[in-house]
Each structure stands twice: as C-alpha cells, then as structure tokens.
Amino acid sequence: MTTWPQHNASADEWADWRWQMRHRVNDLATLERYIRPTDGEREAIEATRGIFRWTITPYYASLMDPLDPACPIRQHVVPQAAEVAPDIVGVVDPLDEVGHSPVKNLVHNYPDKVAFCVTSECAVYCRYCLRKRMVGDADFMMRKDELREALAYIRRTPAIRDVLLTGGDPLVFSDANLDWLLGELRAIPHVEIVRLGSRLPVVNPMRITDSLCAILKRHHPVWLNTHFNHPKELTPEAQQACARLAEAGVPVGNQSVLLAGINDDAETLRQLSEGLVRMRVRPYYLYHAQLIGGTAHLRTPIETGMHLMRGLRGHTSGFAVPAYVLDTPDGKVPLTRDYVLGRAGDHVVMETTRGTLWAEPNPLPPGAEPAMVLPAIEMPEEARTVPTGAPRFVYAETA
C-alpha cells in the first residue's frame, strides 16, 4: 500500500481534501519532514510570529525542493527573512476594501460586481497575500447571520449582476454550506453570474470532488478563477482537478501574480501559460504584486512586467496571453501604454478606467537598468497614491 512518510498517510488519506486541511504544516518540526530549512528560514519563522501566520497543505509541501531555498514553491509559503526587513509601506489594505464594504466582508467597488469574502480561511497562506490583514483571523470569519446580512444587501441592490465568492477561500466550505450559499444567490433574480476565486485546485486539488462538481453544475452559470504562478504547480493532480471542473461545465480561468525570483522571466511565464491552456485553463490576469508591507523582495518594477508581456504577445497563442494589470482603489488598470503615463521618480503614474490618476509607489532597485524605459514625467497634483515611508506593520497575532 502506498504511504506518504511525512505523515504516514495511506493513499486514501492523502487523497482526502479534509485530511489535507487537518494535517497542514504550521510548525518547524513538521516542516523538517519535507525540507531542510536554512538558518534564514528558521529565523524568519520566529521573526514573523505575530506578523503573518503560515500554513501549508501536505500536498503542496510535497512539491517543495527539500534542498533548494530558491525553490518557487518554498518561496510561496515558507517565511523569509526579507519579510521583516524595512519596507516603503506599512499598508494592510491597499485597495481600501474595508472602505468599500457596506456590510462585513462584502466589497462593492464596481457598480455591477461585489467580492464576497465568505471566509478568512485558506488552505495555504501565500507570503504575498493581498488580504494578510484577515487571512486566518477569527474576527473575519463569517457567521451564518453575517452571511445572511450580506445576501440581504445583494438582494436589495439590483445593480449587482456578478458575485465573486472569495475570502480566504470559499472552497474550504463544506459541500452543504457551499450548496446553501449558491442556492441563496441563485434565488436572487438580478444575480446573473457567480464566480469562485479559489487556490484549492493548486494547493489542495483533492477538494475538486465529483460531489463538489455536481453542486457547481446544479447552480450554473458558475465560473472559477484559480491561481497558478509557476509551471511546477501544474501537477497531474492539479490537471485532474481542472479537468473535473471543465467537464462539469465550469469555465476555469487563472490569475497569476508577477513575483520576483519566482516567475519574472518570459520563459517561465510562457511555460505556465501554455501548460494552463493544455489543462483547459484560460490565462486571465497577470497581477502586479500589491503594495503589502513585508513583500518588497517579491515585487518587481512595473517596467519588468510590461517588458515580459512583449515577450509573450506574438510568441504564443493569443488566448495563452493574460492581461497584465494593477489593482487600485479605483479598479483594475491594464498596465499598457494606453494607461501608463510614465514614471515620476519612485512612482509609476497611470490613468484608471474611471478617468482618475493613480501613482503606484514602485521604486527601481538602486543602480538597476529597467527592462524598458517609461517617459519621465512630473507628478500630477491630482494623482492619488499610497503613503510611503512607514516600515512597521502588524497583521495579526499568532498562536
């Protein structure tokens, strides 16, 4: 009988998504079953205590290179010393999601769309997470009455036609709870589309069961966007999970984040995109990494991403090319010369789709030659931005 020695798990246990959730790695002793942590990783695990939790499913941990600290999977989920180095920002909510939330965890930043953060729990805690402020925090969990309050807001707001279930990760819900929530949304006449934002096909693909697919099929149209960042994540298990979704009639898209040292080269992005297309997953967005405190080591110059996009367009199938975008408080901005006006010192200035100006703090590394040169411009007085120069940040206390 096949077993997984890290947890002495049987094949049936390993294939059970609930077992994967119950046995997540979140202490040094268990991590040492999968990798040989460096001194820097050991120190970072202690130094980040009280800043950002960490947890890894056994499946995802098994993808890590045990000897290479530069392994892209390790960099996703194992704390790094750079996370507590001084940063230009101390921001915990760069998109002002709380300010756009009429009720708890319901972000209404677009007239016809809402992001419904139905839970604060994830299968893994990515080190660059947009919602570090809430992930794993009990204060952001949603009680049934709070879910009903958000549903009531959607019912009384007929402009909302598109609901994104996100979090956290909505697929950590049980089948019964997810079926109930989807049924409630489907009973609202003006809700045309329900989308799920989930990383479980990547980090716990065992979750994509036949029973889950039957539930999603019952509530169509349901779309799902997942989050592969690197070709190493395109495993047979992930491929099977995406195939089940596709065969259940669920269109699957992918939203990657551009991450320094992980996928910031054209060949990696091309392999990722073409691998996704082979799995019937549409590359949808390539996000520029958000200005979250403690992520400076993972952020790239915007010029790098714009240059990489030139390395994809015309060099692979058109539908394998994602849109490179930056999320701002005024919505997503395509990072193309149609919207990017130029560089004003340490900021890249762009026009949003709402006609406002946004200045993204994005300093070039000292002495670095940018991959492409943006026009040098003066900072417009009307441009909004994120305050910089606040290196301290605290997200949540850990146990």
* Model pLDDT, residue 396: 36
Average pLDDT over residues 276-296: 93
Residue 393 has pLDDT above 50, yes or no: no
Quick check: helix, strand or coil at residue 359?
A: strand
CATH 3.50.50.60 fits 106-339, yes or no: no
What are 304-330's pLDDT values in tens digits?
Answer: 999 999 999 988 899 899 999 999 989
368-388 average pLDDT score? 92
pLDDT given for residue 97 in this prediction:
58
Alpha-carbon gap, residue 24 to 200, rounded angstroms = 13
pTM for the complete prediction?
0.91
CA distances from 81 to 257, 261, 291 (A): 21, 15, 18
pLDDT at 132 over 90: no
Confidence tier at 88 by pLDDT (50, 70, 90):
confident
The answer to whether the beta carbons of residues 187 and 136 sit under 8 Å apart is no
Q: Are 120 and 137 in contact (CB under 8 A)?
A: yes
Summarised one tens digit per residue, pLDDT across range 175-217 is 999 999 999 999 999 999 999 999 999 999 999 999 999 999 9
Q: How many alpha carbons lie under 13 Å from residue 85 in its C-beta half-sphere?
A: 10
Both tokens of residue 150?
């958000």
The chain-wide mean pLDDT, for the chain, equals 90
Q: What percent of the chain has pLDDT over 70?
A: 90
Q: What is the average per-residue pLDDT within 210-235?
A: 97
Lowest-pLDDT choice from 57-66, 91-100, 188-197, 269-278: 91-100
- pLDDT of 397: 36
- Look at strands 252-258 and 222-226 and give their pairing: parallel
Where does the pLDDT of residue 1 fall: very low under 50, low under 70, confident under 90, or very high at 90 and above? very low
Confidence of residue 144 (pLDDT cuts 50, 70, 90): confident
Instruction: Note whether 316 and 278 are within 8 A (CB).
Output: no
Q: Give residues with Cβ within 8 angstroms of 174, minimum separation 6.
A: none
Q: Which among 43, 113, 112 is positioned nearest to 82, based on CA atoms?
A: 43
- How many CB atoms within 10 Å of residue 158? 12
Query: What are the angstrom distances between the C-alpha of 346 and each of 88, 109, 132, 260, 379?
Result: 11, 27, 25, 18, 10
Comparison of pLDDT for 354 and 392, the residue scoring more: 354
CA distance 8 to 48: 29
Among 58-67, 104-113, 224-233, 265-274, whose mean pLDDT is lowest?
104-113
Distance of CA 225 to the CA centre of its chain: 10
Whole-angstrom distance, CA of residue 348 vs CA of residue 251: 34
Lowest mean pLDDT among 78-82, 160-164, 334-338, 359-363: 78-82
The residue ranking higher by pLDDT, 296 or 141, is 296
Q: Is the pLDDT of residue 359 over 50?
A: yes
Closest CA to 266 of 228, 227, 231: 231
- Tell me if residue 10 falls in helix, strand or coil: strand
pLDDT at 277 over 70: yes
Averaged pLDDT for residues 336-355:
97
Give the start-to-end residue ranges of the domains of the chain. Answer: 3-83, 106-339
Q: Which of 1-10, 121-130, 259-268, 271-280 has the lowest mean pLDDT?
A: 1-10
Which residue from 257, 260, 254, 258 is spatially nearest to 241, judged by alpha carbons?
254
Number of alpha carbons in the 13 Å side-chain half-sphere of residue 62: 18
Sign (positive/negative) of CA torsion 152, 158, 164, 167? negative
240's tokens: 């099977």
Judge if the upstream peptide bond of residue 221 is cis by omega within 30 degrees of 0. yes
**6-25, pLDDT tens digit by residue?**
667 899 999 999 999 999 99
* DSSP H/E element including 305: helix 302-312
Tokens of 382: 């009307």
Whether residue 390 has pLDDT greater than 70: no
Place of tokens 């294939």: 15
Q: Which pair of tokens denotes residue 227?
A: 């989050």
Q: Which range, of 108-122, 177-191, 194-208, 337-351, averages the lowest pLDDT? A: 108-122
- For residue 34, is pLDDT > 80? yes
91 in helix, strand or coil?
coil
CA nearest neighbour of 229 among 196, 206, 203, 197:
203
Per the document, the length of the chain is 399
What is the pLDDT, as a whole number, of residue 136?
54
Reduce the DSSP state of residue 278 to 3 states and report it.
helix
What pLDDT, on a 0 to 100 scale, did the predictor assign at position 9? 85
CA angle 26, 32, 36 (to 5 degrees): 125
**Banded model confidence at residue 86, pLDDT cuts 50, 70, 90:** confident
